[in-house]
Amino acid sequence: MQFFQVPRSIRQLSTHVLAIVLGVVLTVSCLQVLPSQAEPAPDTAVTQKTSPAVDAIGSSSFVTAAVNRVGSAVVRIDTEKTITRRVDPVMEDPFFRRFFGESFPQMSPTEQLRGLGSGFILDKSGIILTNAHVVDQADKVTVRLKDGRTFKGKVKGIDEVTDLAVVKINAGNDLPVAPLGSSRNVQVGDWAIAVGNPLGFDNTVTLGIVSTLKRSSAQVGISDKRLDFIQTDAAINPGNSGGPLLNGQGEVIGINTAIRADAMGIGFAIPIDKAKAIAAQLQRDGKVVHPYLGVQMITLTPQLARQNNSDPNSAIEIPEVNGVLVMRVVPNSPAATAGIRRGDVIVQIDNKPIATAEQLQGVVEDSRLGEMLQVKVQRGNQTQVLSVRTAELQDIS
């Protein structure tokens, strides 16, 4: 058999043609398998995750919604009070006036003091709730609404014991009203939004949380009040007094009332449930009657009693029990009349154990005026039961 040799140039051309054909085939196969880059593959869309804060707050801040719900019902309260100053009699002596002539200084015996606070509208008829210390002894009260309207305010009632007051304005019967919540539902860690006019800056909003509940006025350092405060870290400054403390839904849960000059970032508010009850009495009677016993007291524990008794310089020996130690008895008070003495330890009232001063104060506050309370005291090694008839608290100072 005869074989013919293929020229080398033809062999090289055939190899190149074969390579090109194979490349075309592979390219077409890939285009059939791979999806188009211009269109996403079905069911492969990527979901962008949001932060927990955005999920909780949403696209619009809950603070904005809360403030918008109550903001128009928050008012500014401006007060004026005339005080009389004591003038040195020498300055009134005609001799000195003749001697000094026109250069003698003219002393004015009166001075105008101006105050600023906040409040909020409880009723469409113009009933406003604020702090007692905002309007107490004011000669003139001016209420400014958020829309700029101003009205003369009339103080309907003041209760210094709870630091609450009711003011009335005549502005028609279609005023915005602040929605009231319930302080019973408030928990530590809840949002707290303070609204008011601190330092004269109208319509100011600050945000924080509820730091603790039932902080007694004695712990706060306000011994002449009978309150359990809501403590918050929302910024509260002078001028916030009387303004609302809101929850995250824009409901009033408290009334901003106190700050501590020695503690930054701590404020206190009167629970709204207490305020509602007091406001109703102030509207009806113009005052609130508070029963009292007439003792100054502190909470006593066996440990504290032992510390006292081990001190050789201690004036009295105290029973080492849980109860309330009587530090002082007010003269002519119900306690004095009943025979309670300094150094007595109150351990029961009407057969109910008493362990703290706040508990005793609450029992007395909840009693009826003129009610006879059976007070069990530990006096040295003896126990006595004394009958104490409550009387009306006249002067908290």
**pLDDT attached to residue 203:** 85
In a shared domain, residues 271 and 303 = no
In a domain, 52, yes or no: no
In a shared domain, residues 82 and 151 = yes
**Model-wide pTM > 0.75:** no
In a shared domain, residues 136 and 202 = no
In a domain, 9, yes or no: no
Q: How far is CA 105 from CA 84, 88, 93, 97, in A?
A: 18, 12, 12, 9
In a domain, 250, yes or no: yes
In a shared domain, residues 162 and 223 = no
In a shared domain, residues 92 and 161 = yes
- Burial-class residue 329 by CB neighbours within 10 Å (0-12, 13-18, 19+): buried
In a domain, 266, yes or no: yes
In a domain, 200, yes or no: yes
In a shared domain, residues 301 and 345 = yes
Total count of domains within the chain: 3
In a domain, 29, yes or no: no
| Structure confidence by residue, pLDDT tens digits, 285-318 | 999 989 999 999 999 999 999 999 999 888 888 9
Q: Which two tokens stand for residue 158?
A: 């003041």
In a shared domain, residues 117 and 187 = no
Active-site residue (options: 163, 216, 228, 344) = 163
Q: Low-confidence residues of the chain, pLDDT below 70?
A: 1-60, 85-109, 223, 259-264, 395-397
* CA atoms of 281 and 181, how far apart (whole Å): 19
In a shared domain, residues 267 and 332 = no
In a shared domain, residues 156 and 93 = yes
CATH code assigned at 87: 2.40.10.10
* CA atoms of 104 and 157, how far apart (whole Å): 44
CATH code assigned at 308: 2.30.42.10
In a shared domain, residues 278 and 298 = no
In a shared domain, residues 77 and 143 = yes
In a domain, 143, yes or no: yes
The amino acid occupying position 215 is R
In the residue annotation, 224 being an active-site residue is answered as no
Active-site residue (options: 216, 241, 290, 344) = 241
**pLDDT attached to residue 262:** 66
In the residue annotation, 290 being an active-site residue is answered as no
In a shared domain, residues 245 and 300 = no
**By residue range, what is the domain housing residue 318?**
291-392
Q: How far is CA 31 from CA 17, 20, 22, 27, in A?
A: 22, 17, 15, 6
Active-site residue (options: 72, 78, 118, 133) = 133
**Boundary-marking domain end, from 168, 203, 236:** 168
In a domain, 204, yes or no: yes
**pLDDT attached to residue 53:** 41
> Secondary structure of the chain in the HEC alphabet?
CCCCCCCHHHHHHHHHHHHHHHHHHHHHHHHHHCCCCCCCCCCCCCCCCCCHHHHHHCCCCHHHHHHHHHHHHEEEEEEEEEEECCCCHHHHCHHHHHHHHHHCCCCCCEEEEEEEEEEEEEECCCEEEECHHHHCCCCEEEEECCCCCEEECEEEEEECCCCEEEEECCCCCCCCCCCECCHHHCCCCCEEEEEECHHHCCCEEEEEEEEEEEEEHHHHCCCCCCCEEEEECCCCCCCCCCCEEECCCCCEEEEEEEECCCCCCCEEEEEHHHHHHHHHHHHHHCCCCCEECCEEEEEECHHHHHHHHCCCCCCCCCCCCCEEEEEEECCCCHHHHHCCCCCCEEEEECCEECCCHHHHHHHHHCCCCCCEEEEEEEECCEEEEEEEECEECCCCC
